[in-house]
């Protein structure tokens, strides 16, 4: 029996090299395994916990889907959809909210970080992980690929599902987090002590999948390193160089040790040129595929297919839940 795997990305900021290496490429690999059934969505409802310009959000949602496909997601193998196209998920989320304790939601690390120092924040920020639980549970996901910082969200989904099962009888599978090993290693180019994030305020530390080859090269050549001028892997003492080695390793499919041996005494400038060449070529290839997808006009057809598949499962799960809790 196939294992169902689900993941999504919020359409805030632009997709980055970190997203590609940490999430999208892993989904491509997982979807190519005939033992897996992959669901991949744009989490546009989650984006609303903070104000988004409506026109920008609307445009970015379609861009995300097209970029997923350009990065290697095959819509013949993967169910690709937009979260807000499935109107049953908010109903599922509400029933789950009614089976979640305030203390559970308020203890979430993301809620603490986002609400810290703020007098006013939306209730959506508090219930964010419960909507995520609805995304995970409606389709009986077996695994959810996440970074280490998102593991807690899968754990609360399990807790809520287990509580619901105990109250009302077996309804949900208990999902497992699938930690990405490579994605968590891709760091900000300017501050290699933190991950590369599409929401980062310093654009020079983040490589967007929409950056031109010239911009990619400029950012990598300006990446923070150290003064030793020797290329070798040491994340604690040489986080900048180690980050560039990780990027080069993933793209070239060579080991960091192999690359470090080749460039150890070549100087940081030559090493950065190598990483920049690899990265800019890969992103150029992705952009060429992206432009073809946009111009082909097939995006709506792909989204409609994914929407119907997603809605069918959510409708069945919602009715099952409603019956168990006593709703008509």
How far is residue 4's CA from residue 30's CA, in Å, rounded to a whole number?
10
Q: Which residue has the tokens 């989320």?
A: 93
Q: Which two tokens stand for residue 199?
A: 């929401």
How far is residue 135's CA from residue 137's CA, in Å, rounded to a whole number?
6
Catalytic site residue from 10, 195, 307, 317: 195
Q: Which two tokens stand for residue 229?
A: 């001028």
Residue 195 annotated as catalytic = yes
Catalytic site residue from 198, 218, 289, 322: 198
Catalytic site residue from 3, 114, 151, 305: 114
Q: Sheet containing 78-82: give its strands across.
A: 78-82, 36-42, 3-9, 143-146, 176-179
For residue 176, list its beta bridge partners.
143
> Quick check: 206 and 200 in contact, CB under 8 A?
yes
Residue 190 annotated as catalytic = no
How far is residue 82's CA from residue 166's CA, in Å, rounded to a whole number?
31
> Quick check: 141 and 173 in contact, CB under 8 A?
yes
Reduced to 3 states, what is the DSSP secondary structure of residue 118? coil
How far is residue 26's CA from residue 175's CA, in Å, rounded to a whole number?
18
Q: Which residue has the tokens 């080859």?
A: 213
* Residues classed as catalytic: 114, 195, 198
């Amino acid at each position: 029996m196939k294992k169902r795997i689900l993941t999504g990305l919020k359409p805030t900021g632009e997709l980055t090299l970190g997203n590609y290496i940490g999430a999208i490429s892993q989904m491509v690999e997982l979807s190519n395994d005939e033992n897996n059934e992959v669901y991949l969505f744009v989490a546009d409802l989650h984006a609303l916990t903070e104000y988004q310009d409506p026109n920008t959000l609307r445009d970015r949602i379609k861009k995300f889907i097209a970029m997923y496909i350009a990065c290697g997601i095959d819509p013949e193998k993967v169910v690709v959809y937009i979260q807000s196209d499935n109107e049953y998920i908010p109903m599922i989320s509400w029933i789950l909210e009614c089976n979640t304790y305030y203390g559970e939601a308020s203890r979430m690390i993301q809620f603490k970080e986002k609400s810290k120092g703020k007098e006013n924040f939306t209730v959506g920020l508090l219930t964010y992980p419960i909507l995520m639980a609805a995304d995970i549970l409606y389709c009986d996901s077996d695994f959810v690929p996440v970074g280490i910082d998102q593991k807690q969200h899968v754990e609360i989904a399990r807790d809520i599902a287990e509580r619901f099962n105990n109250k009302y009888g077996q309804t949900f599978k208990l999902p497992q987090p699938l930690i990405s090993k490579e994605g968590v290693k891709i760091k900000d180019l300017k501050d290699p002590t933190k991950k590369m994030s599409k929401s980062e305020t310093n654009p020079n530390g983040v490589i967007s999948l929409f950056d031109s080859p010239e911009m990619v090269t400029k950012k990598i050549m300006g990446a923070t390193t150290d003064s030793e001028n020797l290329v070798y892997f040491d994340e604690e003492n040489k986080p900048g160089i180690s980050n560039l080695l990780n990027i080069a390793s993933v793209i070239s499919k060579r080991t960091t040790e192999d690359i470090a041996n080749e460039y150890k005494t070549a100087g940081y400038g030559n090493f950065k040129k190598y990483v920049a060449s690899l990265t800019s070529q890969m992103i150029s290839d992705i952009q060429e595929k992206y432009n073809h997808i946009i111009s082909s006009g097939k995006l709506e057809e792909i989204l409609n297919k994914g929407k119907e598949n997603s809605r069918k499962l959510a409708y069945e799960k919602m009715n099952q839940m409603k019956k168990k809790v006593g709703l008509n």
